[in-house]
Amino acid sequence: MARNIKYLAVHCTATSQTTSISAIQSYWQKQLGWKMPGYHFIIKPDGELVQLLPIEQVSNGVQGFNSQIINISYIGGVDQNNKPVDNRTPAQKATLLKKLKELKVKYPLAKIQGHRDFPNVHKACPSFDAIKEYKDV
């Protein structure tokens, strides 16, 4: 069954940029007990886009909204003291923009926003203003 996609949610992993995708997946499974990944797509520092889940399936990106979201994240988003920082590489910025444009063609009514822009979210994720940055996408 097709999902009604209302949002394209932008995330950061809130990890160091050297964190591996397998370590992130292991955290979701072992620490959080999730059966599904947190994102549909994850972007490595070199700009490589990795799909973790088909968009037809629901990921664990934003509590209470997941059935209506495609979740896309970049690896990073915090400094060495775990403080929020926009440390996207130029390659990550380019890949993120390209993927959001592709998804917007498929889901023209979907709103692009950061994890922090959803109700009752108390985190800085994705460590930049996604609504402002992608308002023209």
> pLDDT per residue over 52-110, tens digit each?
999 999 999 999 999 999 999 999 999 999 999 999 999 999 999 999 999 999 999 99
| Distances from the Cα of 30 to the Cα of 63, 75, 128, angstroms | 18, 19, 28
Q: For residue 11, indicate whether it is catalytic.
A: yes
Tell me what pLDDT residue 2 has: 74
Which residues are paired to 19 by β-bridges?
Answer: none
Closest CA to 28 of 17, 13, 41: 13
Is residue 27 part of the annotated active site? The answer reads no
Question: In the annotation, is 12 catalytic?
Answer: no
Say what the pLDDT of residue 1 is. Answer: 55
Report yes or no on whether pTM surpasses 0.85: yes
| Candidate list 11, 40, 44, 99, residue with the active-site label | 11
Please state the rounded mean pLDDT for residues 3-22. Answer: 96
Catalytic residue among 7, 12, 39, 134: 39
Q: Is 122 noted as a catalytic residue in this protein? A: no
Nearest to 70 by CA among 136, 137, 4, 1: 4
Does the active-site annotation cover 39?
yes
Point out the catalytic residue in the list 40, 44, 99, 115: 115
**112, 137 Cβ separation under 8 angstroms:** yes
**Does residue 74 contact residue 88 with C-beta atoms inside 8 Å?**
yes
- CATH architecture type of domain 7-133: 3-Layer(aba) Sandwich (3.40)
